[in-house]
Amino acid sequence: MNKFYTSVRLDKDACNGCINCIKRCPTQAIRVRKGKAVITSKYCIDCGECIRICPYHAKYSTYNNIEVMDQFEYTVALPEPSLYAQYNNLEDVNILLTALKLMGFDDVYEVSAACEYISQMTKKYVEENQDKWPIISTACPAMVRLVQAKFPNLIDHLLPIKEPAELAAEFARKRAMEKTGLPSEKIGIISISPCPAKVTSIRMPIGINKSNIDAVFAIKDIYGTLLKYMDKAKENVENLSISGKTGIRWANVAGESFYLDTENYLAADGMENVMRILEELEEKRFIELKFIELNACSVGCVGGVLNVENPYIARVKLKKIRNGLPELKTFIDFSDTEKVNSAYWTEKLKYQPVFNLADNMIESMNKMEKAEKILDKFPGLDCGSCGAPTCRALAEDIVRGVANERYCFDVLRKLYKEVTHDDKSVD
């Protein structure tokens, strides 16, 4: 089996072979070959940028169908707080949670409740680990994978706490087993998510061996179904919500930092911005910061590609939903050390140097020198016509043995001139 899994896929028929996705991909994981986009899974961090940019909707994320619920005797929905922002005039989160039950789930467990738990843990962790400042949030799995592949010197700064949905899954499973007496395998924990990177986390969990989440539904996929149950839910609203303002805030950029009660935090969103910050951070340029929150998506999780609502409007809606709620509803009991400790990663995150040119340095150096020489032959337009995002990327593909110089239209043009002695028609 391939060691690297990615949830982002290509609909070949829809792909028209244009350069939008290859130019947009932050890790240069995509090439156009034979007129179709190809993703190299070991470079992909599942950020979803290609899904967002593709004008032909040829990129999509895998996730589960609703039928998966039939495989379990008892199912629990784990709605992410972004879900609350998809509906107009939602005056009470409980209406939505009740609708989830009407839709067929036996119970719901809000991811935002786990967020509140993590918020309280993080506040303590940040104060107790000054030597690791700035601590970098690990709520965005695309960010964590980016750090793992490209920023080895920042791995020690990562907050070693499970992703909110993962922690919610753990709490939800425990509650379901206690409530029903069923064995674990008969209980289906299903997250409702805006994010392809979180889909990947089930197969390739971060900081743990095995995920507690059994399936993922995309918010946009169940949006309509859920809407149908909302009116009925209003007739008999169950009191299911166990999170306050703090947890719901996590759906927006800076929402996680807010609870930490410090001015010395940085919160950034959008791939380009976070990449720049990670670059600078590696040279230790923000030494006075305590906490850094980075969201691959603009505006935070409400900007995730599997949402329905415009992220900026979603942010406004969430603000209204928070009105009247207490700061916290889920409180941590630090004396319950077993529960607190179980929220930490069990596995040490390792650097995955997938971008190395070769297995050893001498060979890599030879390849880099070769690539530099090849690069001199290219026009430096970074036009993408060759299927690689930049001339340098093509040069590196060539030394890696997966492309050749004639992929470049300018090289071809020169060749044409040489062969035909026609100096005019192609200039």
Partner 1 sequence: MSEGLVLNFKVLPNDFSRAGEASSTVKNKLKKLGVNPYIIRKVAVAMYEGEINMVIHGGGGEIEVTITPKEIKMVLEDAGVGIADVEKAMQKGFSTATDSIRSMGFGAGMGLPNMKSHTDEMNIDTQVGRGTKVTMTVYLDQGENHE
Closer of 153 and 310 to partner 1 (Cβ)? 153
CA distance 168 to 173: 8
Residues 2, 65, 362, 423: which binds partner 1 (CB under 8 A)?
362
Closer of 150 and 173 to partner 1 (Cβ)? 150
Run of H or E including 295: strand 291-295
14 binds partner 1 (CB under 8 A): no
Q: Which positions from 364 through 403 interact with partner 1, judged by CB under 8 A?
A: 364-366, 368-369, 372, 396
Cα 2–chain centre separation: 20
360 binds partner 1 (CB under 8 A): yes
Spatial contact of 341 and 140, defined as CB atoms under 8 Å apart: no
x-or-dash string of contact with partner 1, 310-349, rule CB under 8 A: ----------------------------------------
Run of H or E including 364: helix 361-375
Spatial contact of 254 and 267, defined as CB atoms under 8 Å apart: yes
Give the DSSP per-residue string, 94-155. HHHHHHHHHTT-SEE--HHHHHHHHHHHHHHHHHH-GGGPSEEP-S-HHHHHHHHHH-GGGG
Amino acid code (one letter) for 78: L
Run of H or E including 89: none
Nearest approach in angstroms of CB 153 to partner 1 is 5
Number of residues this chain uses to bind partner 1 (CB under 8 A):
26
Residues 184, 356, 404, 420: which binds partner 1 (CB under 8 A)?
356
Residue with tokens 């390739």: 204
Residues 150, 173, 245, 290: which binds partner 1 (CB under 8 A)?
150
Residue 335 CB partners (closer than 8 Å, separation 6+): none
Residue 176, burial from CB neighbour count under 10 angstroms (0-12, 13-18, 19+): buried
Nearest approach in angstroms of CB 264 to partner 1 is 14
Residues 35, 104, 324, 353: which binds partner 1 (CB under 8 A)?
353
Closer of 357 and 412 to partner 1 (Cβ)? 357
Closer of 316 and 402 to partner 1 (Cβ)? 402
Q: Give the residue among 99, 110, 85, 103 at the shortest CA–CA distance from 220.
A: 85
x-or-dash string of contact with partner 1, 284-313, rule CB under 8 A: xx----------------------------
Q: Which positions from 268 through 287 interact with partner 1, judged by CB under 8 A?
A: 279-280, 282-285
Closer of 44 and 222 to partner 1 (Cβ)? 44
Other CB atoms closer than 10 Å to residue 407's CB: what's the count? 19
Q: Which residues bind partner 1 (CB under 8 A)?
A: 150, 152-153, 279-280, 282-285, 351, 353, 355-362, 364-366, 368-369, 372, 396
